[in-house]
């Protein structure tokens, strides 16, 4: 099968995240199974206009905002009739391929934007995007859709998509689960971990505030943060840490490699996530695989990747005070902590890209 995949970022884009990691793993397996895959994506400074990665082709066109028009023009000039299947990935904005392609097509949606518009976009783009999103979702609501969580499926249904047109594939992680929890050594001091790019929608300042509150009860509590802080919000977080009276116990490491990430996920006691919403929350499952449960806000995606009081804790209210209380209570309740740690580790073993690809492959074969 020849697959043409429209999405605005590829795995090498500096802004790539969990969605691009999923695309990469699915594409690699498609190639291994004898399929051909071409991605049409946005360019970025230093990125090649065309390259092959793991057997699939990436063609980079325009930038974050012009890629939609450039991809349309490139398709019309070079790729009409090439594909057996076209995937239109909705990552904030769709490519509206249904209006100009004749080939079979399907949408791929990790999460809807909704309130993220107000965290990641400036005025008036945020208002315009928030108003237009329901409209363009309605225009696409006759399409079949692949998504990664019940939360996103429910969101799509709210905007007119039919339940039987929405298929959910398993998420997956590339991090190999530890073999034996008993052999995982934790930091000597209780440590909470915040991982990933420090952006407004991640609400990292809420994590720092929760840590400050929890530190008043657990005096030796430590916070380790790792991720790119080059955004305006990231710099704001770094300044906020610098002014904290607990700054000696907050350790910002910047961007880290995968080996350091795995080490931190093993040694930390808790992962803390306060995002506005997620498609799933891959870092949660990754941390679980290394023997670390998570405390998270009650939002789309995170309520899928965490089973409350079974594999982690979902806050009753999304604010630093409740987040802090959940951190304190779990770290003090060693019996419950051990149970969550064990169950989250066991569950993480079932969330892998082999299953994700089986789900994905079955869906696209039956379109």
- What CATH number is associated with residue 325? 3.40.50.2000
What are residue 49's phi and psi, to 5 degrees?
-70, -25
Cα separation, 270 vs 208, whole angstroms:
14
> Do 200 and 138 fall into the same domain?
no
> Do 153 and 191 fall into the same domain?
no
> Do 146 and 122 fall into the same domain?
yes
For strand 56-60 and strand 50-53, is the pairing parallel, antiparallel, or unpaired? antiparallel
| Burial (CB count <10 Å: 0-12, 13-18, 19+), residue 204 | buried
Residue 295's beta-bridge partner residues?
A: 272, 313
Q: Write the DSSP assignment of 31-85 as a string of letters.
A: HHTT-EEEEEE---TT--SEEEETTEEEEE-S-TTTHHHHHHHHIIIIITTT-SE
> Do 53 and 109 fall into the same domain?
yes
| CA-closest candidate to residue 367, choices 5, 106, 66, 54 | 106
> Do 358 and 233 fall into the same domain?
no
Domain that holds residue 158: 2-172+352-365
Whether the model pTM is above 0.85:
yes
> Do 120 and 190 fall into the same domain?
no
Q: What is the full per-residue pLDDT of the chain (367 aa) written as tens digits?
A: 999 999 999 999 988 888 999 999 999 999 999 999 999 999 999 999 999 999 999 999 999 999 999 999 999 999 999 999 999 999 889 999 999 999 999 999 998 988 887 888 778 888 998 999 999 999 999 999 999 999 999 999 999 999 999 999 999 998 999 999 999 999 999 999 999 989 999 999 999 999 999 999 999 999 999 999 999 999 999 999 999 999 999 999 999 999 999 999 999 999 999 999 998 999 999 999 999 999 999 999 999 999 999 999 999 999 999 999 999 999 999 999 999 999 999 999 999 999 999 999 999 998 8
> Do 358 and 326 fall into the same domain?
no
> Do 33 and 153 fall into the same domain?
yes
> Do 210 and 342 fall into the same domain?
yes
> Do 163 and 42 fall into the same domain?
yes
> Do 162 and 282 fall into the same domain?
no
What are residue 43's phi and psi, to 5 degrees?
-80, 170
> Do 219 and 134 fall into the same domain?
no
Total structural domains in the chain? 2
Cα separation, 106 vs 300, whole angstroms:
23
């Amino acid at each position: 099968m020849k697959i043409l995949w429209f999405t605005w970022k590829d795995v090498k884009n500096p802004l790539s995240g969990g969605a691009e990691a999923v695309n990469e793993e699915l594409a690699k397996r498609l190639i291994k199974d004898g399929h051909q895959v071409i991605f049409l994506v946005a360019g970025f400074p230093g990125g090649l206009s065309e390259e092959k990665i793991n057997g699939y082709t990436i063609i980079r066109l325009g930038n974050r905002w012009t890629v939609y028009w450039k991809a349309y023009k490139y398709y019309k000039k070079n790729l009409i009739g090439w594909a057996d299947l076209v995937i239109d990935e909705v990552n904030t904005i769709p490519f509206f391929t249904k209006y100009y392609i004749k080939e079979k097509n399907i949408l791929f949606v990790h999460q809807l934007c909704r309130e993220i518009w107000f965290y990641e976009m400036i005025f008036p783009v945020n208002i315009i995007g928030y108003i237009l999103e329901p409209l363009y979702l309605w225009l696409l609501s006759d399409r079949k859709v692949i998504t990664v969580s019940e939360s996103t499926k429910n969101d799509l249904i709210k905007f007119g998509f039919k339940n039987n047109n929405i298929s959910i594939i398993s998420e997956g992680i590339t991090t190999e689960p530890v073999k034996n929890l008993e052999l995982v050594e934790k930091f000597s001091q209780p440590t909470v971990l915040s991982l990933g790019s420090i952006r407004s929608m991640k609400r990292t300042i809420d994590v720092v505030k929760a840590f400050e509150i929890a530190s008043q009860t657990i005096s030796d509590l430590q916070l380790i943060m790792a991720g790119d802080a080059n955004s305006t919000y990231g710099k704001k977080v770094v300044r906020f840490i610098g002014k904290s009276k607990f700054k000696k116990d907050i350790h910002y490491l910047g961007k880290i490699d995968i080996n350091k990430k795995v080490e931190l996920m093993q040694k930390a006691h808790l992962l803390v996530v306060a995002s506005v919403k997620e498609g799933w929350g891959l870092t949660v499952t990754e941390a679980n695989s290394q023997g670390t449960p998570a405390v998270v806000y009650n939002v789309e995606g995170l309520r899928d990747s965490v089973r409350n009081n079974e594999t982690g804790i979902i806050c009753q209210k999304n604010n630093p005070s409740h987040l802090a209380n959940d951190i304190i209570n779990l770290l003090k309740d060693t019996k419950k902590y051990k149970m969550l740690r064990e169950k989250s580790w066991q569950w993480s073993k079932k969330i892998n890209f082999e299953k994700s690809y089986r789900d994905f492959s079955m869906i696209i074969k039956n379109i």
